Structure formats: C-alpha cells, structure tokens
Amino acid sequence: MFIAHLPSGYILAKVLNQKLQQNKISKTVFFTSIMLGSVFPDIDLFYFYFFDGRSVHHHKYFLHWFSLWLIIFFISYLYYKFSKHFAKYAYIVLLFSSAALLHICLDTFVGDVWLFAPFIDKSYVFFEVTPRYQPWWLNFIFHWSFLVELMICSMAIFLYFKNKVQTKP
C-alpha cells in the first residue's frame, strides 16, 4: 500500500465503532488510536532513510513483523478481558494493534512482507509491482493495484461525508 493506510484505518474505526457500540473511551481516543495504529508501522521509514541508508527493505524491520503485532494484540486482549485496573489502556492498545495488523495485511497486497519474521526469512506478496519507472514510486501509481488504493480512499471519504450529512441539523 502506498496511500491507503490512513483511510483504511478510518474505515476500520468507523466499522468497529458501529459494531462495538463501546463507551469505554472517548470517540476521539477510539478513532485516534486506530488511525495512528494504521500508519505506525511505517515510522520505520525514518530509520530506513536517515540511518540505514536504504540497505535493508523497511518491511524487514520489526515494526513490520506480523508476529510482533499479533503478540501485542493477544496480550492486550488478555489484559482487557482479565484485568480490572488496566482494561481501558489494554483496550486502546488492542485497537492500535488491530490497525497495525491491518497495515501489515494491506502491505502484503503489493509489497514484500516478511510475515513470519523473525522465525522465517521469506517475503510474501500477493501481486508483484514490476520496476519500470523512475522515481520508484511511479511504479506503484501506474500499477493496477493503485486503483484499489483509490477505492479505499474514496470509501473513507464517502463514510466521512455521509456521517457529516447525517449529523447536520
């Protein structure tokens, strides 16, 4: 994914907000934790560009390990279910990690992702983006999969404005 991580986080937040009918945290914290989680794995790009010299694919870094987010998800779920003192914070981490898992799943669409790292050093991808153009990002924009990203963005915009129209007096 190239541009659709944040919009997909918004869609996830809208769906979960409707399904969970939660009142444990404010709506702002609910949406913020999910939307931050949907882009958080890509903060490794700072390391990739400024410290690593782009020598290792950034999807190999631990923030893009599916196993990391799965462990965080399950631990926060257990805290949420069985802890009275930390349930609210565990709920926020649960939402955050669910969005990070969505991020990793979306990256697998057209980007190499080491799904079983650190246990297996093999990348997985559903569809390859053939390098043809310079700069590199044009390869993603001219690939058919970019239409899927545009559809995700369009759906997020639609949901946002649908909500605005429904809440107008």
pLDDT at 102: 98
> Helices 5-20 & 145-167, crossing angle to 10 degrees?
50
Average pLDDT over residues 93-106: 98
Q: Which of 30, 11, 42, 38 is nearest to 152 (CA)?
A: 11
Average pLDDT over residues 3-25: 93
The predicted model scores a pTM of 0.92
Structure confidence at residue 169 as a pLDDT band (50, 70, 90): low
**In a 3-state reduction of DSSP, which class is residue 14?**
helix
How far apart (Å, rounded) are the C-alpha atoms in residues 79 and 81?
5
Bridge partners of 113, per DSSP, are 124
Name the domain count of the chain: 1
Domain carrying residue 115? 5-167
